[in-house]
Every structure is written in C-alpha cells, then in structure tokens.
Structure 1
C-alpha cells in the first residue's frame, strides 16, 4: 500500500506544479483520455491468510481449477432485456484486446486468487468521493471476470442515491434493488437481468429513493446477499461513495471486502486515507488507481499492441 501512496503523492505534486491544485468536490469529472490505464495495488491481507503478492499486469498464469458441478437449485434465472449502446469506457467488453482491458485482467487475476485462497467471492467496489470512476470500474471487473471459463458473475448496484449502471449498459432502470426492498411480494429472480453479449447478470439499483440508508437496513438485503452467494462464483457490488454517505457501513457484514477506486490527478490523499481507516485492514482488499498514465508501460507495449491506445476510466 505504501507504493500507492507514493504514486498519489507524486500525482499531487504534478498537479500543483501545473497550477491545478486540488479539484473541489463539486467539479465535474474530466473525461478520460486515450492514454489512461487502470492499476491495482493489492492491500496486505490480515495474517495468517495473506495471499501471494501480485504485481498488476505480471505474474504467474491463472491456474484453471474446475468449479463445483451445477445443480438445479443453483440455476440462475435471468431475463434478457432490450438494450441501447454500451458506454465506451467498458473496455473489458468492447475492446478486450486493448492495453486498458489487460489492466482489468490483472485485477481479475487478483480477485480469482482471493477466491481460490481465501474464499472471497463478494467484493464491494467503492471510492472515497464521487467522480472517481467506481461504477465503470465495477462493470469492467464484472466483464473481465465473466470471460473466465464457466464463471458465474453478478453485479449488484447498491447506489440508490445516484444509480448509473443502467445508463452505462443502455438498459432501463425502472425496476431494481429499491423495487425489491420496498415490495415484499417481489421475487428477486424477476429483477436479475442479462444484456445480450454481456456475460454477467445485473441487479440494478432501481429508481432512486429519498432515504436509501433506511432501505438498506432491511432484512431483505441480507437475504438477497445470501441468495447471490449460492448462485454466483463472483458478486461485484457497486456502492455509493464512502464519504460523506453512511450507506457503505451497512455493507461491512454483507461483503467479504472492498476495493477502493482512486482517480489519478484528482483524488486528494486525505479522503482516501479516511476511507481506508474507516474500513480497516481486514476489509480492505486493495486500491485501484484509475486514470493513471503509465507512459513507460505504454511505450514498452506499443509495438506489440499497435499504435492505438484504448480508452479507460
């Protein structure tokens, strides 16, 4: 984790040198450029279950291990929904051979190792503040995990304050988690959706609600997570930002750990440190450094991948 904070400090110095200072909370996120990549910084796991250190983008190949045989009660009943265009930043789906997509595959290696060695299958993706790219990161992680052989992957959107997954996938957000938590007669199977060609199942947040914190305290949410654990090998949870909302605290006992998304050149160090301190080492699985321009790696791989640089976010 120390290497990550060194990189964050370097980014802050570069920003100050250009006279940009700290971007205020209300500033809209700048669009990602064509040279950005996503880097995963693995957090140290609590002893004695520490996974092998992994270097993003490198390391041993993924070991292929057979999954448990599927039985009738683990069949995932989903509905295929009409779709529009996918957001261009979903590179793991739209540009799977790009450099940016390879960075998400490095994250996939780390997540698959966590599942194999520590039984971690439900991972929340969050950020300290809005605008750091947590939702696009969660979607790209789900997309690259779904490319694994016989992997059952679901993405659940918990952010009922400002849901954006439906917009990124080009589908309707008319029904979802808020619908399920508000209606006792609604079965979750009727809300699980599959976009053609996506590879993973989606449970959208549904229409925004005025008091999501109270809704997330419903016992139905705990029952929902228990059901998803039995049906899927990987569950990626897109959460609200950690600061200043208390919603994420409810998830501490429902997920196995958190990946925190930090946006290079934008996210100040202090809120990141505050978010990590709130989670503690046992729940912090790692940090995803988003919009990071690694010119050295891009130059080293330009000849192999060609001259085009895929966009990431």
Structure 2
C-alpha cells in the first residue's frame, strides 16, 4: 500500500473511532471549526531574524520594504476587482526568490488595518516560510493532509510590532509530494481555508512550476498567480513554458526579482491584463 493510501486509511480509522460509523476519511476537515477569532498559537517574530532573511516589509520605514508595498497595492487591486481570494506565488525554477517575496507580501498586507492575511507554505519539496520567519513549527500542512492534526492546531499567529499574520507552515514530504498536491485531502483543505477565512487574503507559497506537476495539480483550486522570475536565474524559454502550463489561471503579475549581496530585494513587475 502506498504512503498516501496508508495515511488516508489511518485518517479513516481515527474518524471511525471518534465519530462512530462515519465512512468519510475527509470528515475531520469538514468538521473542523476554524474561525478568525480563534486563539491560535502565538509566535513573536524577531526583527533581527527577519532582517537576516530579507523579510523587510514588516517595517513601514524600511526603504526596500516599500517595494513590496507597491506590489501589495497592485496585486490587491486586481484581486479585489475580480473577487479573488487565493493567490499562489510560484516561479519557473528554484532560486528566484519566491518564498522571500511571499513572506514579504504577507507582511506588507498584514500592516493594512482593514486586511487580514493567511500565508500557507505549500512547497512540500523545500518549505522555507517557517525558516524565513523564524517560526519553530510543531506541525504543518503535511500533518493536516495526513490527518494527524487539524487546520486549527497547525496554524500559528505570527506577530511583529503591532502587526500579525496567520501562517500555516510547510513540511518536507520525502515521497509522494505530487500525489498529495493532487489528492482530495488537499482540495478539501484548501476549500476549508477559503470557507473559514473568508475575510483573509490567502497566499500560497508554491513549488516552482517546472520542477514537477505540483502546481498544475491544484490550479483549479487557485484564483490567481504571482509569478516570480530571477535575473540570471530564469530564462525566456522557462517563462514561456510557465505561461503554457499556467494558461488556465490568471497571472496577476510577473515579478523580475534580483537579490543582491546586501540582502536588498529589487523587482520590476508586469501587470495583469
């Protein structure tokens, strides 16, 4: 029996024990009560650590962070105009700065008084969100998919200064990452997040498009895409190949990102049409 099927069987067994004769292995997702005012585990982020990992947008006075404020405004305008809630952040290949951009964008949105944000690390190959933010994750998205914990218990409330963002950390999947991405468990989890966090902008830090079929597997669950490219990393053929794979989902913006040795982030963005 493959690992995913084994995990689903364990989930089914747990559900039968706790709720009688239910035969639905995904009932734990459907019955989870995840509200915006829930007391999530609190994590205080260290400004020094954020600076060291180039997460700068938590500070409204940081010059480099302001570039992410511009990106925030542009992205939110397109999402609001179209009634979109979920934004996937991805790149053609690794090394383009997608996770740094996703974290900075989330921190920038968190500074808006009328906005709430949920950052989800869906890179099951190389999850980086918890590392970049300085979060010690006790559980994460893979634990949720396997039925070992609930969404409620996996999400943390990360705060710095007076700002806060909800974070669902990632976990490395040693085998079967693509299968988990295409699973009903993933679809149900994303539906749960969208339903229970209606007032939140949900940012998904995805794997690179060209490393496998992970991103393609959940395109139907995604409203929009932010494509991150890197100077000296992404080639024109890479970008064209991404457009071919992502053509069914709107790309709100293409960011050409460059991270210098001085840990400053610069980008040039191309807007949604």
Structure 1 runs of 4+ aligned residues shifted over 6 Å read: none
- Cα deviations by residue, 1:81-108 (Å, 9 ceiling, x for unpaired): 3666324311102x43233212111111
Give the drift of 1:312: 1.9
Give the corresponding residue for 1:139.
103
Q: Is the 8 A contact 1:91 1:312 kept in 2?
A: no
TM-align CA RMSD: 2.3
Give the drift of 1:209: 2.9
Give the drift of 1:255: 0.9
2:114 & 2:254 partners in 1: Cα distance?
A: 27
Give the corresponding residue for 1:154.
118
> How many aligned residue pairs are there?
225
In the TM superposition, 1:123-202 aligns within 5 A as 123-183=87-147, 186-197=149-160, 199-202=164-167
Query: Which 10-residue stretch deviates more, 84-93 or 268-277?
Result: 84-93
2:135 & 2:189 partners in 1: Cα distance?
A: 22
Give the drift of 1:292: 7.6
Q: Which runs of 5+ in 2 are unaligned?
A: 1-33, 267-273
Q: Is the 8 A contact 2:223 2:249 kept in 1?
A: no
Higher share in strand: 2
Query: Which 10-residue stretch deviates more, 282-291 or 149-158?
Result: 282-291
When the two structures are superposed, what TM-score results if normalisation uses the length of structure 2? 0.75
Q: Which runs of 5+ in 1 are unaligned?
A: 1-71, 294-308
1:82 & 1:112 partners in 2: Cα distance?
A: 26
Give the corresponding residue for 1:269.
236
Identify the structure with bigger relative contact order (alpha carbons < 8 Å, sequence gap 6+): 1
- Cα deviations by residue, 1:260-309 (Å, 9 ceiling, x for unpaired): 1011233211111110121117422210111189xxxxxxxxxxxxxxx9
Give the corresponding residue for 2:223.
256
Q: 1:77 to 1:273 in 2, by over 3 A?
A: farther
Give the corresponding residue for 1:48.
none
2:36 & 2:53 partners in 1: Cα distance?
A: 33
